[in-house]
Chains A and B, each alone.
Chain A
């Protein structure tokens, strides 16, 4: 048995930022991650991190409004106010830790333009901002001597008397299972891209954190809000950063037209992501695409500019598709990328379960509402990662000694053994594939009652097969086969919540666009959907709603 004051699940930006904060406060903290921290999916964020810097004439209210407008007014405005007002210091702190942000001529942090904002306030490192920040946070974790349970997979949260008291986890390298007791747990395990197919997300983004919290009684909020990123590389689904458009790239259809003019004459290619994805999908569906893609054109930027500012994109384009972006436009299409929905928290990362916090993509404060602006995710992770850490440190002062029981460990061991003992059945990969393709089909860029019900049916079918999959690898050491089975179970929970939310919300808002109900309905639906795991409910999900917090900005029609 292991014991800590604070245990953080996930070693990405949110997790490491929280860990740095808790370490500085002097509490005993550990991070547990199923991959080495530098492998976390925060790596894949490319374009930049937003921050209004007042000494440069920007105002945090401007960023807050852009964020709220981008969210199609579903974001909780008090949470956005917190994020926007803390953003400046959050980014400056990262620079002081050593992030190699790009600079202006005056040697101060330089910016680029980004989607949904008229002011350029996105700070960046080439097209590898996420990776650059993650690596620096990792360096800081080395400096602080952070304890990391590397390649340990959490299978269950320990909840005793309604309070979170730790986790049960497998040490993948040995296959041994352990209890790790903690006075507070911060869930920072990332998103759930693998619930869809294709997705820009890594294979590890299986919604573990979302499901673990869900099973512990925490509601998942606004799960129908799935972001399809406008520019994912044809055939491979690899993310091509919004930064390209931020630096001036055009989106063209088969006739060479900048089609964004039709739907977003003001912001053009830098409208909010859901608007751009829908515009692209329309071009493709109406026959003005090329093999299911539109074109991202960077030629006019010139080779040396592309290499300096967007080097990683050029690398990907050349290596994976053999296309030199300085010479040819790149085929791109909308691809599932981010989940605005997540574990419901307050502005300090606290959930309805005492002792359980959440931050980063797995959380929903809500700052992103129905659509996230580009470069706000990196901001979200460090702001709320820090705040969760701060609040957790305060919270644990009132928590008593650790209990020593290992009941959860015993039951988890039995549960996993039962999985291993199953007779030969279906392969996990086949079931996941069926589930994920069904989800993309039914809960896509455009959706309607029929498609969503189709997703529900598909999910029912998939769930009926969950009792029959088997694990081929019966060994202990690095049994990824078993892990994939456990991840599939987590993904099903997330899919349940997504479908339930999608069928509940009877309007179109942000990324949830229904072709059968195309208008936004503030009168009835200026609300969050809250999905609770409930065995009594027919689909296993009970949906409730809650009001959106409005402070300064009355919802208006969203025009780009």
Chain B
């Protein structure tokens, strides 16, 4: 790094270690302390550890400029790109930093996780342009705004932070994941791609597809590049519905909610539950019964004739004015 000033900062790190060869599957914590330039990043301090204290520490890093995506890891429980995480931001009073490998992915050694999970998710969305024709000469014609629109997804550097902290992947490894869906979004939005409808349908129908996102916003929060995967997923859902994919309980749930507020100004919870299950889906309906009964016994079953908001005609009028516009 460029010349260090005289002034230094003391950084304390507690790193989760793991070596498959040595410790028989056990992990252990190792503490380090380094003195480093006050403007340093967490990566700077880890490199200092690796270079001057402990050459056995394994981690991935390369560009140090938040463009290669190598250095994703958990800092105090949240995935971050450590090359752009300043120590003073995460340890303003010299607190010890807890450093762990990213989550939801198999650990190879120390802070190095296997990239297999991430890339197998990406591969599931067929992440390459599939045009339905090739221009006779020159380039595809496309507007600049349509290309700039894709920058959001193109900014993804495949660092894996979103996958690491996804609360659905924590309980279900079959979920295709936020990174893959954000990547898929790029192709559905690319005017040159000829497979939009198929892509939407596949991701709509698939087990672990677009409807499995629980809308917790963790991926939006941790993405270091502003890709906001969850927002992309919501857009995929809106697009899938518009394209006529109405065969999921996710769709029924959304549709029911929308209509409930239209009709009553408020949410009719009972109706929502039944609509989402599907009126003809007997097993699902029966599944709802226990909770309904329990709620009734406790005196908290929502009224079967739903409460409306006061003067809810105004809400109906509002819906009309918006629906007429589109």
Contacts and interface: CB of A to CB of B under 8 A. Distances in A.
Direct interface between A and B, CB < 8 A: yes
A104 interface: yes
A477 B109 contact: yes
B62 A202 contact: yes
A311 interface: yes
Most chain B Cβ neighbours within 10 Å, of A35, A106, A236: A236
B150 interface: yes
Nearest to A473: B56
Contact of B51 (A92, A128, A429): A429
A427 B151 contact: no
B9 interface: no
Given A43-B63, A100-B190, A35 B70 contact: yes
A103 B66 CA distance: 26
A490 B54 CA distance: 23
B301 interface: no
B211 to A, nearest CB: 25
A44 B55 contact: no
Contacts of B69: 38-39, 43
Given A43-B157, A108-B138, A126 B151 contact: yes
Given A98-B192, A150-B115, A429-B51, A477 B19 contact: yes
Nearest to A53: B138
Contact of B127 (A125, A139, A320, A473): A139
B73 interface: no
Contacts of B51: 427, 429-430
A478 B110 CA distance: 9
Contacts of B144: 102-105, 107, 110
Contacts of A480: 50, 58-59
B140 interface: yes
B142 interface: yes
Interface centre among B52, B59, B62, B66 (most CB of A within 10 A): B62
Contacts of B241: none
A477 B68 contact: no
A125 B151 contact: yes
Contacts of B225: 315
Interface stretch (B91-99, B128-136, B270-278): B128-136
B66 A315 contact: yes
Contact of B65 (A44, A96, A198, A234): A44
A274 B55 CA distance: 38
Interface string A216-257: 000000000000000000111111000000000000000000
Contacts of A140: 128
A312 B39 contact: no
A140 B19 CA distance: 35
A427 B52 contact: yes
Contact of B68 (A44, A95, A102, A315): A44
A548 interface: no
Contacts of A36: 115
A465 B289 CA distance: 77
Given A100-B147, A473-B56, A481-B56, A316 B142 contact: no
B11 interface: no
A314 B151 CA distance: 15
Interface string A132-153: 1001100110110000001000
A422 interface: no
Interface in B117-145: 122-123, 127-129, 131, 134-135, 138-144
Nearest to B122: A142
Contacts of A481: 55-56
B112 interface: yes
A237 B147 contact: no
A504 B148 CA distance: 49
A308 interface: yes
Nearest to B131: A96
Given A142-B123, A480-B58, A97 B147 contact: no
B2 A237 contact: yes
A105 B55 CA distance: 54
B68 A41 contact: yes
A179 to B, nearest CB: 23
Contact of B154 (A100, A109, A430): A100
A471 interface: yes
A267 to B, nearest CB: 27
B142 A103 contact: yes
B158 interface: yes
B67 A312 contact: yes
A203 to B, nearest CB: 5
Interface size, B (range): 35 or more
Contact of A131 (B140, B157, B190): B157
B21 interface: yes
Contacts of A308: 148
A460 interface: no
B64 interface: yes
A316 B66 CA distance: 8
Nearest to B130: A143
A38 B122 CA distance: 13
A59 interface: no
A55 interface: yes
A384 interface: no
Contacts of B84: 319-320
B35 to A, nearest CB: 16
B158 A38 contact: yes
B151 A311 contact: yes
A108 B138 CA distance: 9
B61 interface: yes
Which one of B141, B154, B157 has the highest number of Cβ atoms from chain A below 10 Å of its Cβ?
A: B154
A97 B66 contact: no
A473 B110 CA distance: 13
B22 interface: yes
B21 A98 contact: no
Contacts of B151: 100, 125-126, 128, 311
Interface in A45-59: 55
A243 B59 CA distance: 32
B70 A475 contact: no
Given A139-B129, A475-B19, A478-B112, A132 B154 contact: yes
A105 B147 CA distance: 12
Contacts of B64: 202-203, 236, 238
A35 B62 contact: yes
A202 B39 CA distance: 19
Given A35-B62, A429-B51, A478-B112, A55 B138 contact: yes
What 7 A-B pairs come out closest when comparing CB atoms?
A98-B129, A472-B55, A429-B51, A107-B141, A103-B144, A139-B128, A202-B62
Interface of A: 35-36, 38-41, 43-44, 55, 92, 95-98, 100-110, 125-126, 128, 131-132, 135-136, 139-140, 142-143, 150, 173, 198, 200, 202-204, 234-239, 308, 311-312, 315-316, 319-320, 427-430, 471-473, 475-481, 484
Given A35-B62, A104-B144, A236-B1, 4 more contacts: A43-B63, A43-B69, A105-B144, A472-B55
27 contacts: A38-B69, A38-B157, A96-B131, A96-B134, A97-B129, A98-B192, A102-B148, A103-B143, A107-B141, A128-B67, A131-B67, A132-B154, A135-B158, A139-B129, A173-B108, A235-B2, A236-B2, A315-B66, A319-B66, A427-B51, A428-B55, A472-B54, A472-B56, A477-B21, A478-B109, A478-B110, A478-B112
Interface of B: 1-2, 19-22, 39, 50-52, 54-56, 58-70, 84, 108-110, 112, 115, 122-123, 127-129, 131, 134-135, 138-144, 147-148, 150-151, 154-155, 157-158, 190, 192, 225
